[in-house]
Homo-oligomer: A and B are copies of this chain.
Amino acid sequence: MARSKPATLKDVAALANVSRATAARALNSYGYVGDETAQKVQAAAGKLGYRGNRLAQALRNGQLPIVGCILGDIQNPFFARIAHDIEVLARECGYNLVIGSSEEELGQEVSLLASLRSLSIRGFIVAPTSAENNAHLQSLIAENVPLILIDRVAEGVDCDSVVVDNEGGARKAVEYLIAMGHRRIGLLQDDMRIFTSRERMSGYQTALGTAGIAPDERMIAVSQSTVEHAVDATIRLFSQKMPPTALFTVDSLMTQGALLAFRSMGLSIPHNVSLIGFDDFNLATFTDPQITVVSQPVSEIGRAAARLLFDRLSGKTDAPRKVRFETKLIIRGSVSRRG
């Protein structure tokens, strides 16, 4: 079937018997246009179902009304929530959202960003994979492309950012474990390249240090942030001769992995092992016992980042703003007193 190409401005102009320039004026209401002419044009546009070609518009004025968003993994409910909130705000502002997963690979992040930049995308919200390797981010700044860092910051990249108090959250969690009598406290963490992982580990270490507990790397397991990987890592961690008596996990997928691992190992919470997770999740209160977590204001993060971005896009040029949300230890029932 002959697929009728979508109508162009030229078609509209022809139908209305005016020039393209006049048609454009009528449709975008700028400059002088006669009332009657304007009506003719509107009518013609309506009849043809005219819908400007955003590509051509973008080519002309240099930018596409799309914002790019590069996150670790949309399957993580934390990022899913953020992506959703950004998309909603973007839509309100007449933008669409391109999403890419870096899958926590720096290479992926770099190539994704390059690919999106060649689209003349107007701004980016990125959760950088690495705290150090960030030439690609710096070059965005250098070329004045609005960039908002989310969940993580990157050294030497001077731009708006939205993060939470990871260090404090982790510290509170571990201090609580210590106060409950635990000494062999495990840490199940993400790759150390990742900013949040690093900060949360730092909180963990600070808490141990303050309590005079010597760091012990056998207490630390690293895994990718998926339920499956976390299960394996937890099992490894708890298969030692002297396993931890408590575990702190750095995100909700890992917390869920730990839960599944404990069950498969026949370890019962909180009797055999205590657990605190970073980032709350829907069913944290449904398990038995309910899981104690460090919660972060997930619903604020994406919205805050999107607002920062759209401020920049509408021309704001003041100094970069660093938003930092507090975290909160929510005590439920997954930690037992050790004595």
Contacts and interface: CB of A to CB of B under 8 A. Distances in A.
Interface string A48-79: 00011111101100001010000001110100
A131 interface: no
A30 B207 CA distance: 63
A147 to B, nearest CB: 13
A287 interface: yes
Given A51-B118, A80-B74, A112-B91, A99 B99 contact: yes
Given A3-B144, A260-B286, A286-B256, A101 B84 contact: yes
Contacts of A52: 118
Query: In the complex, which of the residues A58, A120, A286 has the most CB atoms of chain B within 10 Å of its own CB atom?
Result: A286
Interface residues of A, number: 53
Interface string A86-115: 011001000011111100000000001011
Interface in A253-295: 256, 259-260, 263, 282-283, 285-288
B282 A227 contact: yes
A118 B54 CA distance: 6
A117 B53 CA distance: 9
B97 A98 contact: yes
A4 interface: yes
A235 interface: no
Contact of A256 (B96, B119, B283, B288): B283
Given A100-B96, A119-B54, A142-B1, A75 B84 contact: yes
Contacts of A3: 142-144
22 contacts: A1-B142, A3-B144, A6-B143, A51-B114, A53-B120, A54-B120, A55-B64, A66-B119, A74-B80, A77-B80, A87-B99, A87-B100, A87-B101, A88-B101, A97-B100, A256-B283, A256-B286, A260-B282, A260-B285, A283-B283, A283-B287, A287-B288
Interface of A: 1, 3-4, 6, 51-56, 58-59, 64, 66, 73-75, 77, 80-81, 83-84, 87-88, 91, 96-101, 112, 114-120, 142-144, 227, 256, 259-260, 263, 282-283, 285-288
Given A75-B77, A88-B101, 18 more contacts: A3-B143, A52-B118, A53-B59, A55-B58, A55-B64, A55-B120, A56-B59, A74-B83, A75-B80, A75-B81, A87-B99, A87-B101, A91-B100, A96-B98, A96-B115, A98-B98, A227-B282, A256-B283
